[in-house]
Every structure is written in C-alpha cells, then in structure tokens.
C-alpha cells in the first residue's frame, strides 16, 4: 500500500511533492487505494478522487486514531556528529524504531556546530512513512548544553557518558518509566563539567552496555533498549 503524509488531513489534498510522486511516478488513478498519515496518530485509508500532479485529491474511507501509540515517550538529546551523514543515519533508524523527540545539542567538545533542520525533517518524514508510523517525532532546533538543561524536563532523566564511575545499565532503570530523556554526547564525549551539571540537574549516569559506541550508534542502541519489551497502547 502506498503511504502519503498529509499534516492537514481536512484538506483532502496531497502536497505538490506527494501529488507528483503519486501521479507521475506511481501512476495512481482515480479509485486507487492509498494510506494517508497525519503525523499525530491518524492512520487513514483513502482512495484517489482526482489524480492531478500538483494537487492530487483523495477521500477517506476509514480512519484509525492513535495508530501505533506507544506506552512510553522517549526524548533523546544528542550532539550532531562531525560527519552529518552519520547523524542522518541515527535520525532515520531512531524514527524507524520509535522516538518522540530529538534535540540536537551543542556541547563543549562538539565538532559540528551547524545543522539544517529542513533536510533532517525530510529524513524523518521518509523514515516514518517507510516504517508505517502515524506519529512523527518532533525535531527541536539545535541548542546548547546549558539551554537543554533549562528547557527540557522528563520524569526519568539519564546521561550516557564514558567516564569511569558507577553507572547502572539503562535497561535496568526503565521499568515503570514512561517519560524518558536521555543525553548522548559528541565524539569527544561530554566534558567533565557538563557531566557534573547534568548530575546536579537530576540526571542519572547510565551505561548502554559493555562496548564503547559511536555517538550515532549509541542513539540507535538507546532507542532499541527503551523500546525493547514495550508494546503499543
């Protein structure tokens, strides 16, 4: 089934980009069945009524609300990698696995200080459609580490760093937690001062396992750990 993203479902129109893909690439005709997702939990079965390459119209035949809703919320605040393609890979896989919010964070040892949200948003939409997600995660603007601590809260707050010390496994800290914020640092890790600030703000130090992981791999592993054993509501 062909899946399309329409944030304003009441319009009953595909965007110009989606219309072109539907009509010129997929060659869909009037009466053909499609699926439309709105990014906020709506999964709509529909059919094409006007196969126009700029404003393809459809009518909804059935709607499922809160499609694929999970019993937890995951927010990962992560430093963008020097090689942006690695960060884009993380973003794609995190969306496929399941994530609610992504906040790019500028840390002391960050090598990448600029990102283009427009391109990243397109990756989110593509990954969400490919993995049949009706909920699309929020991508926040890049912020500093200190801004992150001030702006974002959660019931359970964790920081994954590579410094020695007592750190519980993330998987052992999750039972009973449904609102999770996890910090993941850049290739050079968080600075000791950043780790201390996080601890002072109620973050618990955690380990993702025995291996030392790249930033983007750590993000994906964290998504899998949090999602493991969880089921849609």
Look-up: residue for tokens 């039972």?
175
Cα(228)–Cα(76) distance, rounded to whole angstroms? Answer: 16
Query: Which superfamily does CATH assign the domain made up of 3-64 to?
Result: Hypothetical PUA domain-like; domain 1 (2.40.240.20)
What pLDDT is stored for residue 233 in this prediction? 45
What pLDDT is stored for residue 229 in this prediction? 38
Cα(153)–Cα(14) distance, rounded to whole angstroms? Answer: 36
Cα(109)–Cα(185) distance, rounded to whole angstroms? Answer: 9
Side-chain half-sphere of 140: how many Cα atoms within 13 Å?
20
What pLDDT is stored for residue 175 in this prediction? 87
Q: Is 45 left (phi over 0), alpha (psi -120 to 50) or beta?
A: beta
Averaged over successive runs of 10 residues, the pLDDT of the chain (233 residues) comes to: 94 96 97 97 98 97 95 96 97 97 97 94 96 97 96 95 92 92 96 97 95 95 83 43
What pLDDT is stored for residue 1 in this prediction? 82
**What residue spans define the domains of the chain?**
3-64, 73-227
Give the N- to C-terminal CA distance of the chain in Å, as an integer.
24
What pLDDT is stored for residue 232 in this prediction? 43
What pLDDT is stored for residue 228 in this prediction? 82
Exposed e or buried b per residue across 164-203, where buried means at least 16 C-beta atoms within 10 angstroms of its C-beta:
eeebeebbebbeeeeebbbbbbbbebbbeebbebbeeeeb
pTM exceeds 0.85, yes or no? yes
What pLDDT is stored for residue 207 in this prediction? 95
Non-local (6+) Cβ contacts of 23 within 8 A are: 51, 52, 53, 56
| CATH assignment, 73-227 | 3.40.1280.10
């Amino acid at each position: 089934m062909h899946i399309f993203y329409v944030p304003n479902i009441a319009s009953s129109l595909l965007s110009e980009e989606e219309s072109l893909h539907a009509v010129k690439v997929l060659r869909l005709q009037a009466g053909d069945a499609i699926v439309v997702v709105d990014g906020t939990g709506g999964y709509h079965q529909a059919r094409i009524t006007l196969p126009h390459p700029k404003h393809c119209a459809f009518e909804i035949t059935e709607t499922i609300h809160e499609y694929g809703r999970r019993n937890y919320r995951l927010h990962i605040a992560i430093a963008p990698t020097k090689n942006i393609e690695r960060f884009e890979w993380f973003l794609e896989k995190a969306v496929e696995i399941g994530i609610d919010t992504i906040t790019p964070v500028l840390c002391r040892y960050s090598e990448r200080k600029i990102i283009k949200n427009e391109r990243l948003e397109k990756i989110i939409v593509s990954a969400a459609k490919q993995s049949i997600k009706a909920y699309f995660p929020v991508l926040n603007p890049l912020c500093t580490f200190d801004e992150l601590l001030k702006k974002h809260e959660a019931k359970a707050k964790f920081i994954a760093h590579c410094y020695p010390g007592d750190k519980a496994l993330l998987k052992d800290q999750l039972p009973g937690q449904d609102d999770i914020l996890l910090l993941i640092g850049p290739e050079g890790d968080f600075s000791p001062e950043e780790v201390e600030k996080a601890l002072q703000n109620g973050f618990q130090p955690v380990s993702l396992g025995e291996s030392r992981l790249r930033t983007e791999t750590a993000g994906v592993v964290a998504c899998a750990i949090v999602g493991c054993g969880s089921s849609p509501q």
